[in-house]
Amino acid sequence: MDVITFDHVGFRYPDSPEPVLKNIDIAFSGGSFTAVLGHNGSGKSTMAKLCNAILTPTEGAVRVKGMDTRDDNSLLSVRRTVGMVFQNPDNQIVASVVEDDVAFAPENLGVEPSEIRRRVDNALRRVGMYEFRLHAPHLLSGGQKQRIAIAGVLAMQPEILVLDEPTAMLDPYGRREVLATVEELRAETGMTVLLITHHMDECINADRVVVISDGEIALDGTPADVFSRVETMRDLGLDVPATTDCAKPGRMCRCPRCR
Amino acid sequence: MLKDITLGQYFPGDTPVHRLDPRTKLVCVILYFIALFTANGPCSVGLVFLTLAFAVGISRIRPGALVKGMKPLLFIVIFTAILNLFFTEGEVLFRWWIFRVTDQGVYRTVLMVLRIFLLVSSTFLLTYTTSPLQLTDGMERLLAPLKKVRFPVHELSMMMSIALRFIPTLIEETDKIMSAQKARGADFDTGGLAKRAKALLPILVPLFVSAFRRADELATAMECRCYHGGEGRTRMKTLKMGVGDYLTLLLYCLVVAGAIVLVRLGL
Ligand SMILES: Nc1ncnc2c1ncn2[C@@H]1O[C@H](COP(=O)(O)OP(=O)(O)OP(=O)(O)O)[C@@H](O)[C@H]1O
Ligand SMILES: [Mg+2]
């Protein structure tokens, strides 16, 4: 069954001259692991934010388990169903103690204190950070912080996990740490995962790879399928290391190098 | 160098002081302030000093950490100390050039420095032994009656807890930017005030830009985690007053009463 469907979705930021996403028509089935690739500024993050109603489509509709993301009444249900992890671990941690941070989402949802405790402990064990529950997040490594961020989302008990370049700011060790955590989660819970990334090698274990270019879906298929089309991939600017292929060097580009 | 700033830092622990309800600790600090501002003689200041020493002893916080916390205030302390020392009337102990030191001056200076130290240390003891979340939770609960007059209590406490969470991150970032600018030949340590202030600009600008970007991303991350204001929010760690809390409150009331009595007796 499809858990997220994009129905001819178009999106334009209020101040952008042309649409960032054009006529995206795609569905993600429950339990699947999809990797989304695309160069800087292709609209990947925008697509992620459309999945849990942080942004709502200016054209077409996005549905999460049948709920329209534009419907204010289902806003919280949508957000608790689709957990989102972002690039910069520092900017998603709200509390000064690890376990307090993980408790943030269930607290917002009005969950009973004892149930929050149980969820927090579970989530921290899932990402292998239980021993660090009383630590201060700013003293942890990047990979550890990102695992805390994942735990913070897991505490909502979401069915879908969207990760927007979760490894972009990490060293190779941190990257492996975070990817292994996601792999384990998938194996143990059968969660639907949408991994947005710059790194080809992170897509290899995915069931499906979607390549976005200039706001449109350029390629969609199994990893073997997509990666065999070397020419097309090269035309999309995807065969070079992430930090050297800025689509829009300068102010608008938000890749780590231009920043 | 910026790492020395320990403001708002929390040292986790499991002592009776750590376990006290944050509301108790907040009220106790207020009571302690009342006692401190009432105290003006050696005995009453001594009583306040003993109260703090007792609390510090139980909390297992190293007294050195409290003294270190005074560092950023050193300038103000020395400045007021000098004013007190040289410009208080009294029996002259000795003079040098246009300066004269009086017995009253020495006495007032010692008392004043001690009082500033007691004032600052007690707030440090509070933040050292109370996690920011507990602290802001306690504040939110204490101020809850103000919600009736539409005072944004929840928003205020959320803002405070986020500010406390980001202080170390921003300090770290400032350090990084400073080293980067130094590597490019920037000089923060010499020159007049105007030159130094100007040298700070290349630090402040990127710091502000990054702080705004962080705020933006954090707001999104909070929304993603279903944050929608204080309405209907529960807490994992519910606050609960125990016997120890009431006894501590009683003790601090006694200290205030003691200070008032001592002052009345002129001690
Ligand atoms: N808040 C905004 N307002 C206006 N334009 C925006 C905003 N956020 C992004 N854009 C623009 O939308 C386009 C797509 O941005 P998006 O962040 O979705 O790209 P991305 O594929 O995630 O890129 P990256 O790899 O850098 O993360 C870019 O051209 C960007 O400049
Ligand atoms: Mg992005």
Domain limits for position B223: 2-264
Query: A150: Cβ below 6 Å to ligand 1?
Result: no
Dist CA A84 CA A191 (whole Å): 13
Query: Tokens 């990047």 correspond to what residue?
Result: A142
Helix ranges (H only) for A3-103 are: 44-51, 75-81, 98-102
* CB-CB neighbors (< 8 A) of B133 in chain A: 95-97, 100
Dist CA A140 CA A174 (whole Å): 11
Structural domains of chain A, with CATH: 2-246 (3.40.50.300)
B30 phi, psi to nearest 5 deg: -65, -45
Contact between A180 and A210 under an 8 Å Cβ cutoff? The reply is no
Report how far ligand 2's centroid is from the alpha carbon of A165 (Å): 7
What does the DSSP assignment read for chain B?
Answer: -GGG--TT------SHHHHS-HHHHHHHHHHHHHHHHH--SHHHHHHHHHHHHHHHHHHT--HHHHHHHTGGGHHHHHHHHHHHHHS--S-EEEEETTEEEEHHHHHHHHHHHHHHHHHHHHHHHHHHHS-HHHHHHHHHHHHGGGGGGT--HHHHHHHHHHHHHHHHHHHHHHHHHHHHHHHTT---SSS-HHHHHHHHHHHHHHHHHHHHHHHHHHHHHHHHTT---STT---SS-----HHHHHHHHHHHHHHHHHHHHHHTT-
- What is the pLDDT, as a whole number, of residue B262? 92
Ligand found nearest the CA of A256: 1
Q: Please write the tens of the pLDDT for every residue from A112-160.
A: 999 999 999 999 999 999 999 988 888 899 999 999 999 999 999 999 9
Q: What number of other Cβ atoms are within 10 A of residue A88's Cβ?
A: 21
* Predicted structure pTM score: 0.81
- What is the pLDDT, as a whole number, of residue A239? 63
Q: What is the pLDDT along chain B (267 residues), one digit of tens a residue?
A: 444 444 557 787 889 999 999 999 999 999 999 999 998 888 899 999 999 999 999 998 888 888 887 787 888 888 888 888 777 777 777 777 777 777 788 888 888 888 888 998 998 899 889 887 788 889 999 998 998 898 899 999 899 888 888 888 888 888 888 888 888 877 777 777 777 778 788 888 889 999 999 999 999 999 999 999 888 899 998 888 899 999 999 999 999 999 999 998 887
The ligand 1 atom nearest the CA atom of A196: 22
Asked if A109's CB is within 8 angstroms of B226's CB, the reply is yes
Report how far ligand 2's centroid is from the alpha carbon of A55 (Å): 14
Query: Does A103 touch chain B if contact means CB atoms closer than 8 Å?
Result: yes
CA closest to A114 among chain B residues: B236
Query: Does B221 touch chain A if contact means CB atoms closer than 8 Å?
Result: yes
What is the dihedral angle through the alpha carbons of B67, B70, B76, B81, rounded to the nearest 10 degrees? -10
Q: Please write the tens of the pLDDT for every residue from B131-159.
A: 877 888 899 999 989 988 988 999 998 99
Query: Does A12 touch chain B if contact means CB atoms closer than 8 Å?
Result: no
- CA–chain centroid gap for B40, Å, is 22
Q: Which residues, other chains included, contact A55 with Cβ-Cβ below 8 Å and sequence gap of 6+?
A: A11, A46, A49
- What is the pLDDT, as a whole number, of residue A236? 79
Provide the domain count of chain B. Answer: 1
Report every protein residue that has its C-beta within 5 angstroms of ion ligand 2. A 45
Query: Does B238 touch chain A if contact means CB atoms closer than 8 Å?
Result: yes
Dist CA B43 CA B168 (whole Å): 39
* CB-CB neighbors (< 8 A) of B232 in chain A: 110
Q: Please write the tens of the pLDDT for every residue from A9-40.
A: 999 999 888 899 999 999 999 999 999 998 88
